[in-house]
Chains A and B, each alone.
Chain A
Amino acid sequence: MAKAIELIDFSYTYPDGTCALEGITLSIEHGQKAALIGPNGAGKSTLLLAMAGFVKGTGKVLIDGLEINRKNIKKIRTRLGSCLENPDDQLFMPTLFDDVAFGPLNMGLEPDHVTKRVSDALQTVGLADMADKAPHHLSAGQKRAAAIATILSMSPTIITLDEPDGSLDPRNRSHLIQMLRSLPQTMVIATCNMNFAAALVERAVLIDSGRIVADGNAGSVMADLELMAAHGLEVPHQLK
């Protein structure tokens, strides 16, 4: 069976010459929840963009066995859902319903089917009664949940999330952890918050300066005090 995500010797350099990712070889199994951890500017967000086909570098990126190229990109978009760091970028439509319906409509689904998917997705993230709300009327926690609903409505098998816990208070963060735990999809989460990562994932991939520094069981990678300190990170309190 093909891996959910596979990168083979992937490198990417920004137009200004800064090397963002160098020789990344990584594979994520179906159903696995993995965290990309690392300091600011390590290349986590760029790696997520590469997985979704938004940055083109050298090497190969395969999603569910399909190589990212012009021919496969439509299929890949329906299998991999990307959730951006800022929910205000993810929620661009006048109402929550329109935002969550945007993906399914682009997949060519019939309006009745779209409505069903929207209500299911909003139900999953706990915003079932907010379909008619405008995104700017939502709280930070609701916006984050809504952003996840926009990709769940497309029924992807893989989800990538960029700093999903950003600007959330402890209660909303705890709700988000519970919700993400309940989702069956393969998940790749880029985060600087080690407590959040430790509560959610079974695998951790430590990235710094565009390279993979450590990759393994979340408990063992994140409990290594020396390794974490060397890359400006902290050991999560659950593992102390």
Chain B
Amino acid sequence: MHHAYIDKFAYQDSPIHRLDARMKLLLLIVFTAVVVALPRTSPAVLACYAVGPFAILVWAKIPLRFALKHILIISPFILVLALSCPLYDRTPVTVLFGPVTWHTSLGWMRCFTIFGKFVVTMLALIALVSTTRFNVLLAALHKLHLPRLLIIQLGFLYRYIFILIDRAQHILRARAGRKMRNLGFKTELKFAAAMLGSLLIRSIDNAENVNIAMRARGFDGNWRTVSKLKIRRADLLFAAAAACFLLTLHFFIRPALR
């Protein structure tokens, strides 16, 4: 299997990678909440907020191209929402961006704010996922008392999604090898239904086997793991630095750029 794993850089080593996953997760939640709660704001303010995740990505040696590529993949979903703003709010507004003056509408401002917030929060999310292994992230969620069933489901999803993708690719390849002409929409639809059915049946079969493997190793419904998470001085220092960054932005930078 050669898939583009979203956490492929999480196996590197850097001071950011070594930080406690709980701390990183909590900081991401706080950072996202702060950015999302920002009132309609200028691109300059959002750019200042982007400095945080950007610095983490650079420090952790995560290629920015990788981060931007993933933002680009998800951006169409948010662009649909953002681009609808200029259509219903055309109130004129003037924006100052350093020496540049821009006459635009409130709708476009909203559009840029939504998209800007999306990019900044996605940068932070990618910074977290690229510096924290998925299993450690699950352990952090467990320590933060998220519902156990949800964590188990996420673990299975991460473990088996690639196998499912692989199987779908095999079926598509087998079909491509025998498809000699365009079969028309109806036939294609029938094929898609048969493929999904086959994937579903094989997934059920897999699930039954996994259940046997779990029971064979004494699983009784209680999920037990060995936790290796530990808060150290570096984690506290990082949290303090992140808090200073957010407070400086809130009390000094934002009023100056308003």
Residues in chain A within 8 A of chain B (CB atoms) = 49, 52, 54, 74, 77-78, 81-82, 84, 86, 88-95, 97-98, 101-103, 105-107, 111, 114-115, 132, 134-136, 150-151, 154
Indicate which residue in B138, B158, B213, B227 contacts A84 across the interface (CB closer than 8 Å): B213
Q: Is the CB of A114 within 8 A of B226?
A: yes
Indicate if B84 sits at the interface (CB-CB under 8 A): no
How distant is the Cα of A136 from the Cα of B5 in the complex, in angstroms? 10
Contacts A89-B209, A115-B226: A106 and B217 contacting too (C-beta < 8 A)? yes
A92 x B214 contact (CB < 8 A): yes
Q: List 9 A–B pairs whose Cβ atoms lie within 8 Å, in order of A's numbering.
A: A82-B216, A88-B206, A89-B206, A94-B133, A94-B155, A102-B224, A105-B224, A107-B218, A135-B159
Q: Scoring B residues 143 to 174 as 1 if CB is less than 8 Å from chain A, else 0, what string do you get?
A: 00000000000011011101100000000000
Of the candidates A89, A92, A98, A150, the one whose C-beta lies within 8 Å of that of B225 is A98
In the complex, what residues of B have CB within 8 A of residue A81's CB? Answer: 216-217
Chain B residues with CB below 8 A from A154, complex form? 217-218
> In the complex, which residues of chain B have a beta carbon less than 8 angstroms from the beta carbon of A134?
134-135, 159
Cβ of B70 under 8 Å from chain A: no
**Chain A binding surface SS class:** helix
> Would A92 and B159 count as touching, CB distance under 8 A?
yes
A77 in contact with B216 (CB, 8 Å): yes
Interface string of B201-235 (1 = CB under 8 A from A): 00000100110111111111010111100000000
User: Once the chains are docked, how many angstroms separate the CA of A52 from the CA of B212?
Assistant: 10
Q: A94-B155, A132-B133, A136-B162 are in contact. Are A84 and B217 (CB under 8 A)?
A: no
Asked whether B156 lies within 8 Å of A92 as measured between CB atoms, the reply is: yes
B180 within 8 Å of A (CB atoms): no
- Minimum CB distance partner of A147 in chain B: B213
Provide the residues of chain A in CB contact with B220, threshold 8 Å: 106
Q: Is the CB of A103 within 8 A of B218?
A: yes
Does B37 have its Cβ within 8 Å of any Cβ on chain A?
A: no
Cβ of B1 under 8 Å from chain A: yes
A94-B213 CB under 8 A given contacts A105-B225, A106-B218, A135-B159: no
**Pairwise interchain contact A98-B213, C-beta atoms closer than 8 A:** no
- Bound together, the chains give a CA A193 to CA B26 distance in angstroms of 53
Interface centre among B133, B135, B216 (most CB of A within 10 A): B216
Which residues does chain A contribute within 8 Å of B163, judged by CB atoms?
A: 88, 136
12 other A-B residue contacts (CB within 8 Å) besides A52-B212, A93-B159 = A81-B216, A88-B160, A89-B213, A92-B156, A92-B160, A94-B155, A98-B226, A101-B226, A106-B220, A111-B227, A134-B159, A136-B1
Given known A-B contacts A84-B213, A135-B159, A136-B162, A98 and B135 have beta carbons under 8 A apart: yes
Q: State which residues 63-121 of B face A: CB under 8 Å.
A: none
Report B183-198 CB contacts with A as 1/0, cut-off 8 Å: 0000000000000000
B141 CB to nearest A CB, Å: 12
Contact mask for chain B residues 121-143; partner A; CB cutoff 8 A; 1 contact, 0 none: 00000000000011100100000
The residue in chain B whose Cβ has the minimal distance to the Cβ of A81 is B216
A144 to chain B, nearest CB (A): 14
Question: Does A105 lie within 8 Å of B159, measured CB to CB?
Answer: no
Point out the residue from B138, B162, B215 that lies within 8 Å of A54, measured CB to CB. B215
| Contact (Cβ within 8 A) A52 B226 | no
Residues of A within 8 A of B206 (CB): 88-89
A74 to B162, CA, bound (A): 33
CA distance A95 to B163 in the complex (A): 15
Instruction: Determine the residue in chain B with the shortest Cβ distance to A94.
Output: B135
